[in-house]
């Protein structure tokens, strides 16, 4: 990494690597599986004119901080698990195809602080207390915490809050509480979209029986407070189990709002890998009758649009209009990547759906040519 220059493409083969800290606008692509990086990787102070792209590595922890440029983290697997992701004071971070199982020492599996961020097709779980002596009564941790005037878009993601630990053997210990799947606070805004199959599951309380001094509490799938706003559609919110009943599936305290638009906001998913000469499928889920345009572009810009906020694509290099969404609510478009695309070429896909005179843009999908 030290020898790399701005805009370099770094190809990485299988092996064990040390963590890195960088402010360079580079693309890092795993050529094989088992590219394992132990420790905390940090992307910091990226200049506004730079892009940083990470694709296919296996990490323990990753932090993005104070970045004015565009940061994209894609298909990161854990080694043994990705335990924590923190994004702070950064203007444009895209996370896709990532699995995170939170670690015990962090309040949330994912922390978003004063940042603009997108999560697409991720699987995120807060830490759940075990049933051994050391964890007796431990609280579960939050799946995704969005704080301090952040703006986030979450699409096609399954997120689970951690459950509290049981109390089996130690007297007079409080049972552990569950934690929300998504907790929004500090005047933040979040738009959450799905195709009807995704779940935000709040954590359950632990079980105490005769040993516990106080019962534990379950948590809502979505918890919004401190003058924050959430717009959620196409996702199943489920509350965790409390001492005697299930808690609310979603909860907004006074001064905060949870909006549930009808029809649900559209989603976009890319099916397949960006390999020259091979086919990709762009799948949009949205309201039947909505007119779809598929967009491929190179430069993202955050704009505030109906149905949520940015990003909008500038310098669109390809626009396809396959027509309206049928009664099934799903419109696919298959296209073949040109065979001469260079390895490491980076671009973004997005869908624009016009329904009853209003245009909605989906979160973007990051494509890095393999």
Please say if the pLDDT value at position 238 is more than 80. Answer: yes
Q: Which residue has the higher pLDDT, 106 or 3?
A: 106
Arithmetic mean of pLDDT, 171-186: 86
> Considering the chain, what is the average pLDDT of its residues?
89
Contacts of 264 (CB under 8 A, 6+ apart): 193, 194, 196, 233, 234, 286, 287
Q: What is the pLDDT of residues 88-97, one digit of tens each?
A: 999 999 999 9
pLDDT for the residue 55: 95
Give per-residue burial for 126-155: e unless 16+ CB within 10 Å, then b: bbbbeeeeebbbbbbbbbbbbbeebbbbbb
User: Which comes out higher in pLDDT, residue 265 or 243?
Assistant: 265
Mean pLDDT of 359-370: 87
Q: Determine the pLDDT at residue 245.
A: 81
Choose among 315, 313, 314, 309: nearest CA to 360.
309
Query: How buried is residue 324: exposed, middle or buried, by Cβ count under 10 Å (0-12/13-18/19+)?
Result: middle
pLDDT tens, residue by residue, 319-339:
889 999 999 999 999 989 999
pLDDT of 85 strictly over 60 = yes
**How buried is residue 123: exposed, middle or buried, by Cβ count under 10 Å (0-12/13-18/19+)?**
middle
Report the C-alpha gap between 197 and 250 in whole angstroms.
Answer: 17
End-to-end CA distance of the chain: 20
Bond preceding residue 80 cis, omega within 30 of 0: yes
Whether 73 shows a pLDDT value over 60: the answer reads yes
Q: Determine the pLDDT at residue 216.
A: 74
pLDDT for 359 equals 85
List of residues 6+ apart from 155 with CB closer than 8 A: 118, 119, 120, 121, 192, 193, 194, 267, 268, 362, 363
Instruction: Provide the pLDDT for residue 319.
Output: 81
Architecture of domain 267-368: Sandwich (2.60)
Structure tokens at 338: 């040109």
Q: Is the whole-model pTM more than 0.75?
A: yes
pLDDT above 90: residue 22: yes
C-alpha distances out from residue 4 to 7, 27, 57, 344, Å: 9, 10, 18, 15
275-294 pLDDT, tens digit each: 999 999 999 999 999 999 98
Residue bearing the bigger pLDDT, 79 or 243: 243
pLDDT at 184: 98
Q: Per-residue pLDDT for 82 more than 60? A: yes
Confidence of residue 172 (pLDDT cuts 50, 70, 90): low
Domain ranges of the chain: 1-80, 103-259, 267-368
Query: 272 φ, ψ to 5°?
Result: 110, 175
Q: Please, which pLDDT band fits residue 299 given cuts at 50, 70 and 90?
A: low
pLDDT band for position 136 (50/70/90)? low
Which residue in 125, 130, 182, 118 sits closest to 154, CA to CA? 118
pLDDT at 128 over 60: yes
CB-CB contact of 184 with 258 (8 Å): no
Per residue in 32-55, pLDDT tens? Answer: 989 999 999 999 999 999 999 999
Mean pLDDT value across residues 69-87: 88
Q: What is the pLDDT of residue 165?
A: 83
- Higher local confidence (pLDDT), 366 or 199: 199
Please give the Cα distance from 77 to 218 (Å, whole number). Answer: 29
């Amino acid at each position: 990494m030290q020898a790399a220059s701005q805009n370099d493409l770094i190809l990485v083969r299988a092996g064990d690597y040390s963590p890195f800290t960088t402010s360079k606008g580079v693309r890092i692509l795993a050529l094989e599986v088992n590219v394992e990086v132990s420790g905390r990787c940090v992307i910091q102070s990226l200049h506004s004119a730079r892009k940083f792209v990470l694709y296919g590595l296996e990490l323990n922890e990753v932090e993005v901080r104070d970045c004015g440029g565009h940061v994209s983290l894609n298909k990161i697997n854990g080694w043994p698990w990705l335990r924590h992701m923190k994004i702070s004071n950064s203007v444009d971070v895209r996370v896709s195809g990532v699995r995170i199982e939170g670690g015990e020492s962090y309040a949330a599996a994912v922390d978003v602080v004063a940042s603009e961020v997108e999560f697409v097709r991720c699987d995120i779980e807060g830490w759940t207390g075990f049933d051994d002596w050391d964890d007796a009564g431990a609280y579960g941790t939050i799946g995704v915490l969005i704080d301090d005037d952040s703006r986030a878009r979450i699409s096609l993601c399954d997120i689970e809050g951690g459950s509290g630990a049981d109390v089996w053997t130690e007297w007079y210990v409080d049972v552990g509480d569950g934690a929300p799947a998504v907790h929004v606070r500090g005047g933040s805004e979040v738009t959450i979209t799905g195709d009807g199959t995704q779940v935000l599951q709040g954590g359950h309380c632990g079980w105490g029986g005769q040993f516990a001094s106080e019962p534990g509490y379950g948590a809502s799938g979505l918890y919004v407070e401190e003058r924050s706003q959430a717009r959620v559609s196409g996702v199943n919110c489920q509350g965790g189990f409390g001492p005697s009943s299930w808690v609310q599936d979603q909860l907004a305290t006074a001064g905060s709002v949870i909006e549930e638009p009808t029809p649900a906001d559209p989603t976009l998913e890319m099916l397949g890998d960006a390999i020259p000469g091979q086919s990709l499928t762009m799948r949009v889920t949205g309201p039947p009758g909505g007119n779809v345009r598929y967009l491929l572009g190179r430069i993202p810009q955050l704009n505030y649009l109906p149905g949520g906020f940015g990003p909008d694509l500038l310098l669109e290099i390809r626009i396809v209009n396959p027509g309206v969404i049928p009664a099934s609510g799903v419109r696919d478009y298959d296209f073949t990547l040109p065979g001469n695309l260079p390895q490491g070429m980076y671009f973004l896909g997005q869908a624009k759906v016009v329904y009853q005179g209003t245009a909605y843009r989906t979160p973007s999908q990051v494509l890095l040519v393999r």
